[in-house]
Chains A and B, each alone.
Chain A
Amino acid sequence: MMEKVSYNKEAIIELINLKKSFGNNRVLNDLNLTVKQGENVVVIGKSGSGKSVLIKCIIGLIKPDSGIVSVFGNDVSKLSHDDLDQMRAKVGFLFQSNALYDSMTIRENLEFPLRRHWLKDTKDTINDLVLDALTNVGLADTIDMKPSELSGGMKKRVALARTLILKPEIILYDEPTSGLDPVTGKEISNLIVEIQKKYNTSSIIISHDLSCAKITSNKIVILIDGTCYATGTFEELNNMSDKKVKQFFD
């Protein structure tokens, strides 16, 4: 059985003293973060502050130099290959660059994680799930197109649909509303909240978009110099007088 390392019973994701450098570039420096069951945590930080690196550490794409990453109470760095795959099946990851497969149609893109994780499913249910997921983001009519035929915002929404298709328990969104107009951005923000309510998911949302942060967050974390500089609800941080915090809320 896997060894449980969690110190906090409620925590579904727990990062303890996380450190990561690339050469001389120290990106994460003693970072601590806890995400509870059913909680949406928004991470704000300057470009290049290590937000994407942070969530890649959680899914095991980047190995931290030191510190503990615990997801569902398991230390990610100690998981075997199969256990890691099982863990990843329950975690959705929206890449900042969308990472849609260029050589596949939208349908195949969405089928990909389904076929990988749930081999037993019949063709019909897979088809239904794909259509459902696309309808959720309002793009059912693009199903037979290639990613290169879509606009930037449409790609983002397809990527979101692919992230959500396995009904993950944890979702890591890397800038879900960037490149979207305010109206669509708001729809996506509402979708994120809706998913949280419906399936009681826990998420980390990286965003520069204040309105998205306001709608989706239960808690906001400000990342400065590789650590969590400030934590609180949107209102709390908005009313803080700290200069470094203020600059994000102007």
Chain B
Amino acid sequence: MKSIALKHFLYETAGIYLFAVRFFKELFKPRFEFNEFLKQCYTVGNTSITLVSVTALIMGLVITIQSQPAMETFGTESWLPSVVSISLVRELVPVITALTCAGKIGSSIGAELGSMKVTEQIDSMEVSGTNPFKYLVVTRVLAATLMLPLLIILGDTISLYGAYIGVNINQNVSFHLFTNQVFAKLDFSDVLPSVIKGLFFGFTIGIISCYKGYHTKNGTEGVGKSANSSVVVSIFAVFMIDLIAAQVANIFHIL
């Protein structure tokens, strides 16, 4: 039983890896599906923008409210905006955004490609002289890779606004003072890693969900499974990447 699960895991990992290799091979072959790429960017952004905004706002608000009592005990309330903003921008917003997108984008790509697979639409594209991998997979992966960092930047901005509201529940801090305090500690070197992380998050979510959808089996039942496992595996991958990124960032900090 265990060995079957392990075999399945290794098999899937190898499959996803080979799928990613194929992505890079096909990426540079001619006939770039630019219109489809733009359409996918719009879809990715459009489906997740509301959820990302709301979660980011709540995140900023909650973290600020919860940190306040602790900081008061140490008499460091004036540090609240800078401390909160750093943890938001460096860690919380990128990961929460990626998780939200893993749910939203992962399930929609998994289900869409899955149903295209089982209803022979992918075969039909191939017969119509279109490379379905380029048309469906490359465009979606690129769109997710590009849009995730943008969504993270949006999330950063909104979460900081949430933090501003949070600070103002118990204190009275002007927006001007708040931004001054935030940007006294927060700088470009905090935003850049989260954007780079966002690229990896987006790429991984895209590859995994496309892989799951593209290899759907067993008819309509398989479509549900693909959508489901796209989300589960993407979420797992997001945490793994986050862990690795933290280690890498740590090493460079020491150097």
> Which A residues are within 8 Å of any B CB, using their own CB?
56, 59, 61, 85, 88-89, 91, 93, 95-103, 112-113, 116-117
B129 near A85 with CB under 8 A, answer yes
- The chain A residue with its CB closest to the CB of B43 is A103
Complex CA–CA separation, A88 to B116 (angstroms): 20
A113 near B128 with CB under 8 A, answer yes
A95 near B120 with CB under 8 A, answer yes
B122 to A: closest C-beta gap in Å: 9
Contacting residue for B121 out of A56, A85, A99, CB 8 A: A99
Complex CA–CA separation, A61 to B123 (angstroms): 7
Grouping DSSP codes into helix (H, G, I), strand (E, B) and loop, the B interface class, with mixed when no group exceeds half, is helix
A101 near B130 with CB under 8 A, answer no
Residues in chain B near residue A98, CB distance under 8 A: 119
B15 to A: closest C-beta gap in Å: 19
Residues in chain B near residue A99, CB distance under 8 A: 119-121, 123-124
B127 near A117 with CB under 8 A, answer no
Contacting residue for B129 out of A61, A88, A102, CB 8 A: A88
A113 near B120 with CB under 8 A, answer no
Contacting residue for A116 out of B112, B119, B123, B130, CB 8 A: B130
Is B145 interfacial (CB-CB < 8 Å)? no
Is B221 interfacial (CB-CB < 8 Å)? no
Residues in chain B near residue A88, CB distance under 8 A: 127-129
A133 to B: closest C-beta gap in Å: 14
Residues in chain B near residue A117, CB distance under 8 A: 128-129
- The chain B residue with its CB closest to the CB of A104 is B121
B127 near A61 with CB under 8 A, answer yes
A155 to B: closest C-beta gap in Å: 11
Is B126 interfacial (CB-CB < 8 Å)? yes
Residues in chain B near residue A116, CB distance under 8 A: 128-130
Interface membership of chain B positions 128-141, coded 1 if the CB is closer than 8 angstroms to chain A and 0 otherwise: 11100000000000
Is B115 interfacial (CB-CB < 8 Å)? yes
- The chain B residue with its CB closest to the CB of A174 is B120
- The chain B residue with its CB closest to the CB of A101 is B121
A25 to B: closest C-beta gap in Å: 15
B124 near A95 with CB under 8 A, answer yes
Complex CA–CA separation, A59 to B124 (angstroms): 11
A89 near B112 with CB under 8 A, answer no
A49 to B: closest C-beta gap in Å: 19
- Pick 23 A–B contacts, CB within 8 A, sort by A: A56-B123, A59-B127, A61-B123, A61-B126, A61-B127, A88-B127, A89-B129, A93-B127, A95-B120, A95-B124, A97-B119, A97-B120, A99-B119, A99-B120, A99-B124, A101-B124, A101-B125, A102-B121, A103-B112, A112-B125, A112-B130, A113-B128, A116-B128
Known pairs A95-B124, A112-B130; list 12 more (Cβ under 8 Å).
Answer: A56-B123, A59-B127, A61-B127, A89-B129, A91-B127, A93-B124, A95-B123, A101-B124, A102-B121, A103-B112, A112-B125, A116-B130
Complex CA–CA separation, A93 to B125 (angstroms): 11
Complex CA–CA separation, A113 to B130 (angstroms): 8
Residues in chain A near residue B121, CB distance under 8 A: 99-102
B31 to A: closest C-beta gap in Å: 10
A112 near B123 with CB under 8 A, answer no
